[in-house]
Structures are given as structure tokens and as C-alpha cells.
Structure 1
Amino acid sequence: MEFKLEDIEETFNGEIINKISNNEYLIKIQDKEHHLQILNINSRGMEFLLDNHFHSVNYIENQTAEMKIVVDGVPLTVNMHTKLDEIVYRNTGGADTGSTQINLRSQIPGKVVSIEVKVGDKVKNGDVVCVLESMKMQVSVKSHKDGEVKNLKIKEGDSVNKNDILAEIE
């Protein structure tokens, strides 16, 4: 996944290479491998060891793809992925304008924060159908085609898994 720090032109790439145990991971940041052990995580922040060095993160504000945090006392704004909305849109079928697929599926696990349509509404390719919250980020899930909302499979507050059907659009 791509990360960008505010006021720094460089983009950093990070990924989980291997899950060692429930709270331990082998990760790669900028082509260098690191050992990550999560000590504590909650809605306000987290504590972790990165290559046996202790770090503390406090969450300040979370938006769709941007997170304001304080890491070891230093305030940062992190763009979680400069193309996150585009990727979610494409993976829900948005790049395929001639889609015959009826089901709009979730590409991420999360909680349904809001539903922007109701059964019977006409939608266009790219219209926001619902907003999911995952890992403190809110992601708009967009219609994968023009059509009419025939069925909603979700309610506000529901938890969804990756690939769950959110709506049927014909």
C-alpha cells in the first residue's frame, strides 16, 4: 500500500509480508524488511515495537484516505493511499462501464456508516451507494454501473466482510 506524509514529496510503500503470530508481522517498507509487534491497539491509538524499538501512536482525526496522528510526540498527516477511492471504485466494477454484474460487493471488511440510496433509486456509474469504515478510515463504495437499486443487503451499523453483497443494481 502507498503512504504519503504531508509536506513530503516522497511516497512510501509498505506491505505485510508474513503474519508471524496474532500480533507479530514481517513487514516491508521501501524494500526493507522489519519486524513489527503490536503491543496494544484501541480506538485512540496503538503501541508497538518496530525492530525492537518502542513506538506510540495517537489517532487524532480520520477521513476517507487521510489520517492525522501523533507518532512518538510528532504530529503527522498520513495519506493512507493516494489512489484508495479509485482502487475501491475499480474493484467494485466501476472501471467496467458495460458491466452486466448485478451484485455490488464490498472490497474491504468494515462497518456500514451510511447508506446513500434506497430501493428504487436510479444510480449512475460512480454514484456513492454507501460508506464503510475500516481501520479508522471511511471509504465510499460507488455503483459499478448505471441502473436501479433493486435490493439493499445492508443496514447502517452492519458489519460486512470482503466480497459480501451490499446491493443489487439492475
Structure 2
Amino acid sequence: MEIKVDDIQEEFEGKVIGFDKDSNLVVQINGSDHLIKVLDMKSDKFEFLFDNAFHEIKILEVTSTELKILLDGQSMALKKHAKLTEIIEKSRANSGGVASMNTISSQIPGRVISISVNKGDAVKQGDNIVVLESMKMQVAIKSPRDGTVRDLKVKEGQSISRNDVVAILD
């Protein structure tokens, strides 16, 4: 995937390699491998380590062709590949979230009305994790695979955004 950063003439070639044994994301940029460890992720803010250096991204605006962000306080506009949104959505669907294959994320915004599991519980693929209320409808977020609940990231009554992490599985 080609990435163009506003005000920088060079285009970058990048691709996602996968996850290492410690659930760090491995990416390749211009032929060099790099590790990304997500520390905190919200719908509009990401904190992460990139090759062991701390960074923070705040999302300012998203359009079909551009992503405007603040990277460590510096404004940037990233020109998106025409199929980037489709690729990201497929990746999220396959992995259960952006951070790693261990995260379970909400596909819709809503208010948490019940939590069906506790930390340490064993779950099977398809088990309810939390139930959200969105537009007067109740929607269950289900486990994408078998595992053990390592952590719950939400509380009953909490409002969450689309793509917020609700739980982490081991």
C-alpha cells in the first residue's frame, strides 16, 4: 500500500506483516520491518510504541481520500489509497480489532447495558461478551474465537464509540 504524507514529497511503501509472539504488530515500511505495540486505543486516539519510542496519534478528520491526524502534536494529512478503508474493515473483521487478534471491539457506538462475562472466564466462539443499546435496539458483541477473558475494558452504563475495545482474550 502506498502512503502519501502531506508536505512530504516521498511516498512510502508499507504493509502489515502480522503479529509477533508478544502480540506486537509487525509492519514493513520501505522494506524495513518495524514493531508497533499499542498501549491505548480509543475511537479518536492511539498511544503506541514504534520501535520502542512512544507516540500518540489523535484523529482530527476522516474522509474517503484523506486522514487528518496529530502525530505527537504535529498536524499531518495522509492521502489514503482508494481501497484503504475496505482493507482496514476486512482486517478488523478478521482480527477482532486493530490492536491485535486478542481484542474484541464494538462495531457500533452505544451504551453498555450488560456484561455477560467476568475477567478470567472461559468463552467459546459466539458467546456474548457485552450487550449494547444503540438507537433503542440491543446488540450483543460476541467472542470471535474460543479463549479466556484477560481484561474487560468497559463498565455497565458506559457509552462507547465504534471500534472501541470492549475486552481482551488470551
| TM-score normalised to structure 2 length | 0.48
Which of these two proteins has the greater Rg computed from alpha carbons?
1
